[in-house]
Amino acid sequence: MRLLHDQRGFLSLIELLVVLVVIMVGLYLWLNMGSLGSPGGGAVGNYVPRRGGPTTTPGIAIDQAVSVKCVENLRQVRQALMMWEQQNEGYPGSLADLRLGENALKCPNTGQPYSYDPATGKVKCLTPGHGSF
């Protein structure tokens, strides 16, 4: 493709502006790569990396996925507790009574079992940033 040249060999004004815009956008992306567009530098959205946690973008994404898995486990445990309570008019003595499987009863990130209060039916994960029901 031949660029539009005037008789002296200079690029047209529009071509020059397009080249400058492309360079500025590339420079902006290159300079902001480390902060991921957030003022905290390295945090994505409201995510705050756990102490000793990942600092790279793939590591943060994996950590967030594990956190979502933990919240999903807690939601399933809570649904099982609600069904148990409707059938038996009270909460089970332990989470093992629900027979959900060992992986559903512990945090996939740390491997710690969920905290459970049989009097209230409250279940929570002891890992900071994970949920409770």
**Rounded to whole angstroms, how far apart are CA atoms 121 and 133?**
9
In what helix (H) or strand (E) does residue 124 lie, and over which residues does it extend?
Answer: strand 122-124
User: Is 8 a residue whose pLDDT tops 70?
Assistant: no
User: Is 46 a residue whose pLDDT tops 70?
Assistant: no
**Rounded to whole angstroms, how far apart are CA atoms 120 and 122?**
5
Average pLDDT over residues 112-116: 89
Three-class DSSP category at 119? coil
User: Is 38 a residue whose pLDDT tops 60?
Assistant: no
User: Is 37 a residue whose pLDDT tops 50?
Assistant: no
Q: What pTM value is reported for the model?
A: 0.53
The tens digit of pLDDT for each residue in 54-98 reads: 566 677 777 777 778 888 888 888 999 999 989 988 899 888 888
Residue pointed to by tokens 């956190």: 67
